[in-house]
Chains A and B, each alone.
Chain A
């Protein structure tokens, strides 16, 4: 139990600030999640944005893949669906940098 707490505490230190999760299971990848992932990372790097971009499994909403979940301080946590490369770049620019949520792409709210 103690060991688990150590891992947990240490890990939580690293998990602060904004983050983006991309559903990277077979259903997501088949729908283009890998392209979205690359675009998100590329756009973040180009704009020098500090945001953790991570992968996760399938959230069950396979009809709306690729799914991108975004958490930015001060903005409600939302999940964008059917994300394409341009949407991905818009997520970085508008949602992460501009704190303005994109219209017409949200499939799930926290």
Chain B
């Protein structure tokens, strides 16, 4: 017992590491080091497609693409001498950079001391003790931070509008009504590091001259609500909220308001209506909330991720923050990478990182090593980006040029088995469900587009339907009252742009080659390829496959529900779609 060193090993290509481990063991045994060095197999190294990774501690030297021949070199140089072995590649620098998520997974969110120990509330104290509100806004402008909720509006500029308006009461609201399918970074921040949001809001409140703030959090996030409420209590008890914060004379307090789960309430004016207790419908702008917002008072609404950036900016300086990212988009962005990706989760990268890096280097590539088809960004307001654009650096402008948006940072990875008609139907269906119903283009246009897509997926589509989809999309984009309607057609438009062929296969050939639109494909057994193993029959949940191992098998199309389990189960590609 009592290892002096440890060697961590992992095949980042997902292969078997055992032979490598055995070889390493043999080398250690030869050197008489078996008792002193523990070999530890990792489940996952956090890097992918880089061959065998070897890390030696306490030196913390990490090698990649390690070959069998390298083992001896590593043992000789690093294990025995504590030095890096030449000629072996070392781990590339970390692609992720955690600013928003800097404390998530480190601090106990229910203990304010954890946050303070990591310089929490230091930014606030610095702001209150040494800066006037105009300086705060200047610093924000210098940082180049843009709203992370979807619109990408420069935060400092937004604040300056509310600052300019004279009124006896102003408000700042944290928009925690995260609703994009697949996006949950706001929830994670509220659950994992609530104080950073409270601190950001308090700084914002000071900058615009608000004495009161609301956190509008959807009721489906009970844990986030509980932790935020606890955080507010603790901040109040510590004097970081309430009267005369840090002896500066600045008063500020916060309250939580629950959203009832309407997606449209993420839109600023609908959110305000909801906080006021009214029907959550957007209203025309101008006047903008910064001039006339909550109860007609100047109001700033910032998204959770935006706010979590703010303490970092004031601790590290706006100039340093502005060095991160691209010219038009500063800082980092958190993405919720989900879908057909091996390692789904939250990823925070500097703006300008490419989609390929995110999906393959951080996310580990596509499930079952299938081919990637596209990446959907920006949730139901966004679009798809096909494989050939994966090397585009991600920032607000580039995504826009590709017909998608940054949105709140949802990133859903699609593989070759995903059908664009099906995907469009899903996203559009979401927006149709969530439309508030106030304005005609969104209310009826969305429904009509969905009706057309359903027609197409049932094989009843005509080519003129594609024109109608484009026609309605255009009207919705131009004439809808709020962002929901203006962008609801993006998934359809962008799939039409990049995958028109798929649509035409549905409309003209009446075929869904991805096997998603149930009326447009059948499963049949290719008798030549069938080895009569009966796996398909055993996997069929509705007894639609008749036959025996002697006679072979047949699929009864009347009974078949197109669930695809036989297709997945067949080991010989003997079932066609």
Contacts and interface: CB of A to CB of B under 8 A. Distances in A.
Central interface residue in B40, B114, B187, by most chain A CB within 10 Å? B40
21 contacts: A1-B122, A7-B116, A7-B117, A8-B116, A11-B113, A25-B192, A26-B184, A26-B224, A54-B108, A56-B106, A60-B105, A76-B58, A81-B43, A82-B43, A98-B1, A100-B3, A100-B38, A101-B40, A103-B40, A106-B42, A106-B44
Interface in A39-81: 54-64, 67, 69, 75-76, 81
Interface string A2-26: 0110011011100100000101011
Contact of B116 (A11, A81, A100): A11
A62 B346 contact: yes
Contacts of A57: 103-105, 107, 109, 188-189, 191-193
Contacts of A104: 41-43
Interface in B215-260: 221, 223-224, 238-239, 246
A1 B129 contact: yes
Interface in B98-126: 101, 103-110, 112-114, 116-117, 121-122, 125-126
Contacts of A75: 6
Interface in B1-28: 1-3, 6, 8
Contacts of B110: 55
Nearest to A67: B105
A81 B44 contact: yes
Interface stretch (B64-72, B276-284, B337-345): B337-345
B347 interface: yes
Interface in B55-106: 55, 57-58, 101, 103-106
A75 B224 CA distance: 34
A82 to B, nearest CB: 7
A5 B421 CA distance: 58
Interface of A: 1, 3-4, 7-8, 10-12, 15, 21, 23, 25-27, 29, 54-64, 67, 69, 75-76, 81-82, 98-109
Given A1-B125, A62-B346, A99-B3, A108 B46 contact: yes
Contacts of A76: 6, 57-58
B415 interface: no
Contacts of B267: none
Nearest to A23: B105
A60 B38 contact: no
Central interface residue in B187, B191, B193, by most chain A CB within 10 Å? B191
Contacts of B502: none
Contacts of A10: 113
Contacts of B8: 106, 109
What 5 A-B pairs are tightest by C-beta distance, nearest first? A57-B192, A59-B105, A60-B346, A11-B113, A62-B345
Contacts of A55: 108-110
Interface size class of B (residues with CB under 8 A): 35 or more
Contact of A63 (B6, B121, B191, B344): B344
A15 B117 contact: yes
Contact of B223 (A4, A25, A99, A105): A25
A56 B108 contact: yes
B395 interface: no
Nearest to A101: B40
B38 A101 contact: yes
Contacts of B116: 4, 7-8, 11
Interface string B165-206: 000000000000000000010011101110000000000000
B348 interface: yes
A4 B122 contact: yes
B165 to A, nearest CB: 32
A78 B42 CA distance: 10
A7 B113 contact: yes
Contacts of B1: 98-100
A61 B113 contact: no
Given A58-B105, A103-B40, A104-B43, A25 B129 contact: no
B41 A26 contact: no
Contacts of B57: 76, 109
A11 B238 CA distance: 14
Given A56-B107, A101-B6, A107 B55 contact: no
